[in-house]
Structure 1
Amino acid sequence: MSGRWQGSTRRDELPADWPAIRAAVLERDRHRCRWLEGGRYCARWANQVDHIRPGNDHSPTNLQALCADHHAIKSSREGNAAPRVSRWRPTERHPGLL
């Protein structure tokens, strides 16, 4: 695994028939980006399929075709909004204050 997928378990959460689902969504959206901005769709060539609402709802109504740029923007926004888990251990109270 390389690039953005490195270290991610997201691919493991996709259904076995994901390639067929992905192809159907791209075909349905005519490979056009569905990013809506200013009341207009981007409409650039789309080769990625995005979950509109985060999670494991892989139904066609929760999937949309996006261009690589808009998919990266959306994923970055969702990642920045996600709760953070500290990799540092909690600060210990001073023994004299226990």
Structure 2
Amino acid sequence: MSGGWADSDRKGRLPADWPLLRRIVIERAGGRCEVIKKNGKRCWDDGTDVDHKVAGDDDSLANLQLLCKWHHARKSSAEGNAAKAAYRAQLKHPVETHPGIIQGPPRPTKNKGF
């Protein structure tokens, strides 16, 4: 099975004081998921995963949040899908016109009497 921590080098890039940072984030959040739902209310589930708000290696407390398993999985999936889409976009080649086609000025649209 692939995915998650098994294929990631992220765990090795965490700072030496990660356990302390994690504990601070959990205490700051009161142990509860910090996601604010569409109805404006905070998620009621227990927080289990300390997550980076903005992906990358910014381990500042301002960039860390506590999420429940469900919200963390949803956010990670969205980030993974966005990364895959960006990668696929890089692989696409621009559409080329046939070398025998002469591109002239755009033709005016015909007035249909309206």
Q: In the TM superposition, what whole-angstrom CA distance separates every residue of 1:15-55 from its partner, at most 9, and x where no partner exists?
A: 01111101110011011001121111113101110111111
Determine what percentage of the aligned residue pairs are the same residue: 49
User: Unaligned stretches of 5+ in structure 1?
Assistant: 86-98
- TM-score, normalising length: structure 2: 0.68
Runs of 4+ in structure 1 off by over 4 angstroms are: none
Asked which structure has the greater CA Rg, the reply is 2
Letter in 1 for 2:52: H
What's the counterpart of residue 43 of structure 2? 42
Q: Which amino acid aligns with 2:87?
A: R
Question: How do 1:1-98 and structure 2 match up within 5 A?
Answer: 4-38=4-38, 39-82=40-83, 83-84=86-87
In structure 2, stretches of 5+ residues that fail to align are: 89-114
Name the SS for the 2:87 alignment partner.
Answer: coil
Where does residue 94 of structure 1 map in the other structure?
A: none
- Tell me the TM-score normalised to structure 1 length: 0.79
Work out the number of aligned pairs and report it: 87
